[in-house]
Structure 1
Amino acid sequence: LFKAIEWLGIKRTMTEIAFDLGYASPSAFAYMFRMETGYTPSQWQKRSMSQS
């Protein structure tokens, strides 16, 4: 999860992140991310960009 958050901060795509972390699909990654953080990956990305 920490690696995903780091990569979302440098504008990697959700597909790249999902496969690099070993998920079978971007949707599987997005589901896990939302369950852990309460945000979708794109919501997290927008949130972190607005705080920069």
Structure 2
Amino acid sequence: MRREDGSVIEGLYAIGNTAANVFGTTYPGAGATIAQGLVYGYIAARDAAGA
């Protein structure tokens, strides 16, 4: 995540539909972003655990 001035907020993540969506401005339907949420959630959890 970034502040309005562009600086990074360490340890704060956005996942799923809150993050930059891989589909751009298109939303193909319910469940389409589940894998994206799982992947980014996994990455955030590993970072939080210090892995």
For normalisation by structure 1, the TM-score amounts to: 0.39
More helix by share: 1
Bigger Rg, structure 1 or 2: 2
For normalisation by structure 2, the TM-score amounts to: 0.39
